[in-house]
Amino acid sequence: MRDRDRFQPDAPLLARARAALAGARQVAVLTGAGMSAESGIPTFRDALTGLWSRFDPQDLASVEGFSADPARVWDWYAERREGVRRAQPNAGHKALAAWARAHPGRMCVVTQNVDDLHQRAGQPDVVRLHGDILAEQWLDESTCRQRPRCDPAAADPGRPPRCMRCGALARPGVVWFGEALPEADLARAQRVANGCDLMLVVGTSGAVWPAAGLAGRARRAGAMVVIVNPEDSEIDAQAHVLLRGTAAQVLPRLLAPA
Ligand code: OAD
């Protein structure tokens, strides 16, 4: 691991990215866990601090894992939820939101993050590909025979909560391994990638599909692709410009008014 504090984005590359941004009619932003790292929310795949270096995703992020030990999985998410609630948007979230508000209708953020930091920073248009960790949904919608269906918010507060009327188990509202992404959100993200002039990719390893495919999709459709990441990612080959630095370091400089 290199010393991230010493990173300064290369000035000519930053200037090139700023020029592309100034000329772009539509800007798509794809964010991953690195976007929220400086808000204190751990990433998944960073070697020492990433969640998946300490926990097995099969145990904690799959229907099978949840079914095997619902209380353990529920508690793990409860702890992560507390971390999200305590966290605050960082300078990177704020810079994106300020740019979007100054250029109405020109920026859409497509995020893989299940936190709500883009929203709390005031980002107007956010597509959530992997769900919302603060939300709850039923493990199995089909167990509910009530009409209209029971509301997960009305479940008893067990670990995990269980519906008092139909007995269904609640689970966190995130997409787990092996599950499809929300169809309408993925379709919107693909349209945004197809239609942008500039795609800014921030803080993702590019290891998880279909989100990782959005950068290549934008590039094939003619967009310039700028990646902000202090480390290599699996989609670096899609980038026209690689800005080596963290979200909170690079985005305020990239997005500041001229
Ligand atoms: P990863 O943990 O795979 O990757 C995080 C990326 O952020 C890495 O490329 C880091 O180098 C980079 N990074 C770390 N700190 C950064 C900083 N301060 N600024 C900018 N970049 C930084 O996270 P994702 O790519 O988001 O799925 O992972 C994709 C999905 O895998 C997640 O959405 C999650 C996980 O399983 C679900 O929750 C469904």
For the chain, give every domain's residue range. Answer: 1-40+87-130+180-258, 42-84+133-174
Instruction: Measure the CA–CA gap between 10 and 103, rounded to whole angstroms.
Output: 26
Sign of the CA dihedral with 51 first, then 56, 60, and 61 last:
positive
| Nearest to 115, CA basis, from 174, 45, 165, 38 | 174
42-84+133-174: same fold as 1-40+87-130+180-258? Answer: no
16 CA → ligand 1 middle, Å: 25
Q: Is the Cβ atom of 215 under 6 angstroms away from ligand 1? A: no
Domain at 42-84+133-174: CATH architecture:
2-Layer Sandwich (3.30)
Tens digit of each residue's pLDDT, the chain (258 residues): 445 555 567 899 999 999 999 999 999 999 999 999 999 999 999 888 899 898 899 999 999 999 999 999 999 999 999 999 999 999 999 999 999 999 999 999 999 999 999 999 999 999 999 999 999 888 887 766 666 667 766 677 788 988 877 778 889 999 999 999 999 999 999 999 999 999 999 999 999 999 999 999 999 999 999 999 999 999 999 999 999 999 999 999 999 998
Which pair of structure tokens corresponds to residue 193? 């990638």
Q: What is the fold of 1-40+87-130+180-258?
A: Rossmann fold (3.40.50)
- Which ligand 1 atom is nearest residue 247's CA? 19
Q: Does 130 qualify as catalytic in the annotation?
A: yes
Instruction: Measure the CA–CA gap between 177 and 243, rounded to whole angstroms.
Output: 30
Q: What is the pLDDT of residue 165?
A: 77
Output the pTM of the full model. Answer: 0.94
